[in-house]
Amino acid sequence: MACRRMKAVQKWAVNRWKEDLRLKLTCRSAWWSCIKQQQGFSPDDCTPPLNKPDGSAATSSREKADLLASLFSEKMRVHDPDRSAPSLPLVTHSKLSSFVITEAEVRQHLNKVDVHKAIGPDKRSASDLLLHLTTIWHQALDTRKDTIVVALDIAGAFDSVWHKGLASKMKSFGIDGNLLMLLEDYSKKGH
């Protein structure tokens, strides 16, 4: 059902876009810019020029995309991951150094999991989220609002975590002993 709804919204959006284009083409002053846009010759003025590190400006869509990709990739990189972690003040004096989980407890929780839904407090699936988002976009388009969607797929996000810093932060929250060693060992294998 969600897929059919999504397809209907997509069809509606395409028809709405065509109608908006038709209305723009009836306006004499916008006619040439619409024609150029349809031919792929639209000016890159939707996003203002961006400053490059060398002081020049990125003006084309390609330059802007490359600049933003470089900026995001730089932010996702861990610089000098082997440096010493800071000593953070304790947030609590309580310590959590181990906990015991039995096989029966794990089985009990696994048996409660609905394998057809995403895990989480609201149990919404990806199709529910997609339907919710397309409804919001549909409403925005229906009220003739500009709608821009940015989707980021943060691949390798775990690799971008400074593991020594994370361990230091866990210590400040009272995680210690075998539990901390387990989590540190996991981060070493993931890194």
Structure tokens at 126: 């990806």
60-118 per-position pLDDT tens digit:
888 888 888 888 777 767 778 888 988 899 988 888 888 788 899 889 988 888 777 76
Answer for the pair 123, 117: CB distance below 8 angstroms, yes or no. yes
**What is this structure's pTM?**
0.41
Query: Cα separation of 164 and 129, whole Å?
Result: 35
Proportion of the chain in helix, strand, coil states, percent, rounded to 5 = 55, 5, 40
Query: Cα separation of 191 and 166, whole Å?
Result: 13
User: CA torsion sign, 154 to 156 to 157 to 162?
Assistant: negative
115-170 per-position pLDDT tens digit:
777 666 567 666 777 778 888 888 888 887 777 776 666 666 666 778 888 889 99
Domain ranges of the chain: 1-42, 47-75, 90-191
